[in-house]
Amino acid sequence: MSILVNGYHFYIAGWHLFMSPLMIGFLFLGTIIGIVFGVIPGLTSTMGLAVFIPLTFGMDPYVGIVLLMGIYVGSIYAGSITAILVNIPGTPGAIVTGLEGYPMTLKRESGRAIGISATASLLGGFIGIIFLSLLAPAISKVALRFNSVDYVALAFLGLSVVSYIS
C-alpha cells in the first residue's frame, strides 16, 4: 500500500505488522535489554547486538529485527544515563549530554536530566522513524544513481565537515 505525493510513492504497508501487541512487546523487551547493556561499562550496543543475534535465528524475521532494534536503541540511549550520573558518556553521542546533564546531577536534579534525555530520545526516535519510513523510497532512488566519483566527493565532504568541527 502506498500514497502517491508529487510523483513519489510513500509505502505504509508495514505499519499494521509493527503495531501488533507482539511486536510492541518485543520492542519493549529489547529496549530494556539494551538499556542494561548500555549502562554497564564496557558493554556496547554492538556487543549487545552480537550477543542477541543468535537468539533471533529461531524467531520470525520481523520479530527478530524488532528485538534487535530495541536493543540497539536502548543501549544508545543508556549511554546518556552514565553521562548524566557520573560524567562518563557510554556512547559518543552522549558526550554533549554529559556537558549539561552532569552539572544538573551536582545540583541534585539528576532525575530531571534523565527524564529530559529520555523524552528527547523518544521524540527524536519517533520523528526519525516517521521521516525514514516516508522518505526511504525517494532517498533510495537518489542513492542508486551514485557512482564512484560521487562516493569520493561524499567522503571528502564528510572529512571536511569533521575537520571543520574539530
H or E element in which residue 2 lies: strand 2-5
- 134's CB contacts (< 8 A; 6+ apart) are 10
- CA 67 to the chain's CA centroid: 13
Look-up: residue for cell 528485538?
67
- 27's CB contacts (< 8 A; 6+ apart) are 66, 67, 69, 70
CA angle 115, 116, 120 (to 5 degrees): 115
Q: Which amino acid is at 46?
A: T
pLDDT 10s digit of each residue in the chain, 166 long? 555 655 555 566 666 777 789 999 999 999 999 999 889 877 888 888 999 999 999 999 989 999 999 999 999 999 899 999 999 888 888 888 888 999 999 999 999 999 999 999 999 988 998 888 788 888 888 889 989 999 999 999 999 988 887 7
